[in-house]
Amino acid sequence: MDEWLIKRARSGDQEAFSMLVLRHQMFVVNICYQFLRVREDAEDTTQEVFIKLYRNSSQYQAQGKFRSYLAKIATNECLNRLRREKKMKTVRLEEYTHANVPPTKEENISPKLQEALDQLPTRQRLAFLMKIHGKACYESIASELECPVSAVGSLIFRARQTLQRKLKSSSEEQEASQ
């Protein structure tokens, strides 16, 4: 369906592109929110993602899933925004608020998982999110984070370990309270 819609959009069918946006808007907003942690920034970046998709629709080749392609664009736009705002090196997790956009049912993330993600060091969180959302290779993650490829593997490994530990302890606390 998505391939058909993008093909129609390439030939100037505005309605087909609108349908693509409607089908995937919340998916992109959720990816952007996980990186940026501010609702308005996530919504603005989502618009930028779809503008970029529209302008570059002729470059899309149906080799993989459309959603993976879209997630890669969203991830890159978020990283570009973070870089522009110089947040990548200066942001502190304490500045994040949880009062912003909750995930949709489609992209439902448990509050405990979101809390655990929020507590990860910034570089670990970014590497982990880039890997799961953008399905990016270690080389491209290293390039975006400006670190060695070997460091990317360590960042993702430590992020997974920390998430598993936090979720396990959270689960044990919940069982103990019952």
From residue 112, alpha-carbon distances to 52, 84, 131, 169 in Å are 33, 30, 20, 11
1-108 under CATH 3.90.1150.10, yes or no? no
> What is the tens place of the pLDDT at every residue in 121-141?
888 888 888 888 766 788 888
DSSP 3-state assignment of 87? Answer: helix
Distance CA 5, CA 159 (A): 37
Q: How confident is the model at residue 109 (pLDDT cuts 50, 70, 90)?
A: low
> What is the tens place of the pLDDT at every residue in 46-82?
999 999 999 988 888 877 788 888 988 998 899 888 8
Residue 86 has what pLDDT? 64
> What is the tens place of the pLDDT at every residue in 138-155?
888 888 788 888 899 899
Q: What mean pLDDT is reported for the chain?
A: 81
- The domain at 110-178 falls in which architecture? Orthogonal Bundle (1.10)
pTM for the whole structure: 0.63
DSSP state of 111: H
DSSP 3-state assignment of 169? Answer: helix
DSSP state of 104: P
If one compares 157 and 137, the residue with the highest pLDDT of the two is 157
- Domain residue spans in the chain? 1-108, 110-178
Residue 108 has what pLDDT? 55
If one compares 21 and 98, the residue with the highest pLDDT of the two is 21
